[in-house]
């Protein structure tokens, strides 16, 4: 929950539209209207992934394939 609050607070903070630094170091007047850049997306490493669908999918897979799963485990552990 705190990550979402931090992300929302970070997205709300933007650069001052009056001046922007350019590559040469000079300050220019920022464009107004829709010319402003869109906020950056969060890193994929920081993305929150819902756990429930994966848990449900693994439960269904085990429900229907439990014999094959145990056979694979036994072969891997016992070397059969």
Question: Alpha helices of 13-51 — where are they, by DSSP H?
Answer: none
- pLDDT in the model for residue 11: 62
Which 3 state secondary structure label does DSSP give 38? coil
pLDDT score for 3: 72
Q: What is the pLDDT of residue 6?
A: 72
The whole-number pLDDT of residue 49 equals 85
How far apart, in whole angstroms, are the C-alpha atoms of residue 11 and residue 39?
7
pTM for the whole structure: 0.37
Contacts of residue 19, defined as CB under 8 A and 6 or more positions apart, other chains included, come to 27, 28, 29, 30
Between CA 70 and CA 14 the distance in angstroms is 55
The tens digit of pLDDT for each residue in 11-69 reads 655 444 444 455 555 555 555 556 677 778 778 888 888 999 999 999 999 999 999 99
């Amino acid at each position: 929950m705190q990550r979402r609050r931090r992300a929302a607070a970070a997205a709300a903070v933007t650069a001052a539209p009056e001046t922007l630094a350019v590559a040469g170091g000079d300050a220019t007047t920022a464009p107004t209207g829709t010319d402003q850049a869109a906020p950056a997306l969060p890193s994929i490493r920081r993305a929150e992934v819902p756990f429930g669908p994966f848990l449900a999918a693994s439960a269904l897979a085990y429900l229907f394939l439990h014999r094959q799963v145990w056979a694979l485990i036994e072969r891997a552990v016992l070397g059969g």
